[in-house]
Structure 1
Amino acid sequence: MSRPVRVLLVDDDPLVRAALTMMLDGAPGISLVAALADGDEVPAAIDRYGVDVVLMDIRMPRVNGIVATRRLRARPHPPEVVVLTTFDTDDHVVRALRAGASGFLLKDTPPDRIVDAVHRVAAGEPILSPAITRRLMERVTTSTDAYERARSSLAALSPRERDVVLAVARGRTNAEIAAELTMTVATVKAHLTHILSKLDLGNRTQVAMLAHDAGLI
């Protein structure tokens, strides 16, 4: 992006907010527009600042990060959301991803990786650590109904689109998908646009979750 990525931080822990504010304020290519203490403050901040990426805590006293994320994704042209979590909130993270978050970060992630994650999410790449994603997926119990719904949805895709879905579910970037499937990055992006439209999904993270429900990974 030619201009700084506008970031909104939402976390009810004042120490976490202070630490992340210090780190993000000095990060190249990032503009921290506000630091909030609860999810109920998010809509007004989005309207005021035109946010690109929200770093969202999960557990907050009035409106938690899952509800706030779901509400954001229902808005026209929503910002990308990255949830902030710890290892003991795996189930909440899965719910947040299903709500439309583009990924998640552990709160003890090194500062340079947080900055890199913000830039990647703003550029349309999900932030899903392979090791932690594997752990999350293992904890999800997919019901028969969810499996059948997912398989039915994916049946609407062409074989090439299904290949792209599988690559997305494996955490591949657009460039990696292009190399694996022998196509251009522009073609990968076009496939993803069609996939999201056909499946009525908001982002590639939800595509990966659907592929998991269908038993593809």
Structure 2
Amino acid sequence: MNDIDKILIIEDIPEVSVWLHAQINTLFPHRQIDHAESLAAANKAISQYTYELVLVDLGLPDGHGSTFISAYKAIAPSAFCVVTTIFDDADHLIRALRAGADGYLLKDDSESEFIEQLSGIIGGRPPLSASIARYLLQQYRPINDEPDIVLTQRETDVLTLAAKGLSVKHAADLLGISYYTAAGYLKEVYRKLQVNSRAEATVKAVNLGLINPK
């Protein structure tokens, strides 16, 4: 880990960027840590410095984080590009890994889990958050009977807004709750419905009569 000198955090939500900075500073004290809130800002940063570690959000205002990963790995193949996201579905995971991501971590992991997983990625251990690994394993377990699915009011509210195309942040703002709380509700909806994407959740919830996004 002594080879990590410069670190770039690509994250468009200031509060999350501050949280990531704190975690990184715990693991890599006294390093240069820069921030970029968009792909454009990230590209400007890498035109000035070469970063040994980059934390990349996937849903950025001007594009998908995987686009940055594939481009940066082409010019700095030894750099660690680690996704930090709320998306726990296979589509986002596979796209990121195909782009060259060295790791895939969830923002709603605990601080201790996040630091341990990131340290492991730098040390060469498997590149998945523990919660992502558990989630993927769960998808391959046989399900004999699908129980009745009940969503709480807040879970219904978040899913309904997500089904209309709103981002988690926008949904959270409309509901007057924090980004992390809204992301937690959506993650719980995915678990209850046994799906791994917003589209699947919407279709299944509509078919079950759980939401009416119109």
Relative to 1, partners in 2 of residues 1:45 and 1:120: Cα closer, same or farther, differing over 3 Å?
A: farther
Which structure shows the bigger proportion of residues in helix conformation?
Answer: 1
SS at the partner of 1:74?
A: helix
Return the alpha-carbon distance in structure 1 between the equivalents of residues 30 and 11 of structure 2.
18
Deviates more, 1:126-135 or 1:30-39: 126-135
Checking the alignment, whether the CA contact within 8 Å between 2:56 and 2:81 is kept in structure 1 is: yes
Aligned to 1:16: 16
Aligned partners of 1:38, 1:27: CA distance in 2, in Å?
24
Q: Is contact 2:4–2:53 with CA below 8 Å preserved after alignment?
A: no
Q: Is the alpha carbon distance of 1:84 and 1:97 closer, same or farther for their aligned partners in structure 2, counting shifts above 3 Å?
A: same
**What amino acid maps onto 1:49 in structure 2?**
Y
TM-score, length-normalised on structure 1? 0.53
For 1:39 and 1:26, the matched residues in 2 are separated by: 26
Q: Give the total of aligned pairs.
A: 140
Mean Cα displacement is larger for which, 126-135 or 105-114?
Answer: 126-135
- For 1:3-152, what aligned pairs fall within 5 Å after superposition? 4-29=4-29, 31-87=31-87, 89-129=89-129, 132-133=132-133, 135-136=135-136
Q: TM-score, normalised by structure 2?
A: 0.54
Q: Is the 8 A contact 2:21 2:33 kept in 1?
A: no
Between the aligned partners of 1:69 and 1:96, the Cα distance in structure 2 is 8
Question: Structure 1 CA distance, aligned partners of 2:69 and 2:63?
Answer: 10
Q: Compare relative contact order (CA 8 Å, sep 6+) and give the higher one, 1 or 2.
A: 1
Select the structure of larger CA radius of gyration. Answer: 2
How far the C-alpha of 1:39 sits from its partner, in A, is 2.1
Cα pair 1:69 1:101 within 8 Å, conserved: yes
Say if 1:94 and 1:136, in contact at 8 Å, map to a contact too: no
Unaligned runs of 5+ in 1: 140-217
Q: Is the 8 A contact 2:7 2:33 kept in 1?
A: yes
Structure 2: 5+ residue runs without aligned partners? 140-214
**Which amino acid is the alignment partner of residue 112 of structure 1?**
S
RMSD over aligned Cα atoms: 2.9
